[in-house]
Chain A
Amino acid sequence: SYELTQPTSVSVSPGQTASITCSGDKLGDKHACWYHQKPGQSPILVIYQDRQRPSGIPERFSGSNSGNTATLIISGTQALDEGDYYCQAWDSSTVVFGGGTKLTVL
């Protein structure tokens, strides 16, 4: 079955740029999206179709997808960006989630 691999954790200083990767076989041939989840809350879609931002998502969130890696980039990271981030893609008519990355802003 298809797998998406994310780093377990990423740390970033406030105001700096955070990058979270998501790796999968030929992921660049698929479309990736990203969700942000804070403790006790439901996930929020922050990037879809590799690089599109839903309405209401700040411009500091951006995405790319090429080769075997999709990347979520958060520019000017703020404390409220802390939490877990999950990538997601479709493969063989099913949804696959990455294992999640805990982003710490310190």
Chain B
Amino acid sequence: QLQLQESGPGLVKPSETLSLTCTVSGGSISSSSYSWGWIRQPPGEGLEYIGSLYYSERTYYSPSLKSRATLSVDTSKNQFSLKLSSVTAADAAVYFCASGFRYYYDSSDGAFDIWGQGTLVTVSS
């Protein structure tokens, strides 16, 4: 059973870079069967997609965050990570990592079926 766990600082200063890691257990991050993604949720608001990838394939980003977000994979640690630069108060949210699957081979179209518990990130000096 695949499980995900987010980790990283709960407090980030404005203008700095937010860095989060998601540790994967119960499956290999280098498997082409899974997608790996980040979704966030500001307090009291809805879900917002940040980005996702399939290992050794293209990385997909939200157009609104593409200029500041970077997703990466560390196969030696079975982890994937998010870096979000130049944060402001608007980036304060619960950040979820998630794993998904695609509906068709060679397509990005799919859903996220495994979610981490989420980690709250506050932006303040």
Contact = CB atoms under 8 A, between A and B. Distances in A.
Nearest to B66: A94
A45 B63 contact: no
Interface string A43-69: 111001100001000000000000000
A98 B47 CA distance: 8
Nearest to B103: A49
A42 B46 contact: no
Contacts of B52: 95
Contacts of A95: 37, 49, 52, 60, 62
Interface footprint category on B: 20 to 34
Nearest to A84: B46
A97 B49 contact: yes
B106 to A, nearest CB: 13
Interface residues of A, number: 25
A31 B61 contact: no
B4 to A, nearest CB: 9
A33 interface: yes
Main secondary structure of the interface of B (DSSP, over half): strand
Contacts, number: 60
Nearest to B52: A95
Interface stretch (A13-21, A72-80, A85-93): A85-93
A65 B61 CA distance: 25
Contact of B49 (A30, A37, A94, A100): A94
A35 B110 CA distance: 13
Interface of B: 37, 39, 46-49, 52, 60-64, 96, 103, 108-113, 115-118
18 contacts: A31-B103, A31-B109, A33-B111, A42-B118, A43-B112, A45-B111, A48-B103, A48-B111, A49-B103, A86-B46, A90-B108, A93-B108, A94-B49, A95-B37, A95-B49, A95-B60, A97-B46, A97-B48
Given A48-B111, A94-B61, A97-B46, 18 more contacts: A33-B111, A35-B47, A42-B115, A45-B113, A48-B103, A49-B103, A86-B46, A86-B47, A90-B108, A93-B60, A93-B108, A94-B60, A95-B49, A95-B52, A96-B49, A97-B48, A99-B46, A100-B47
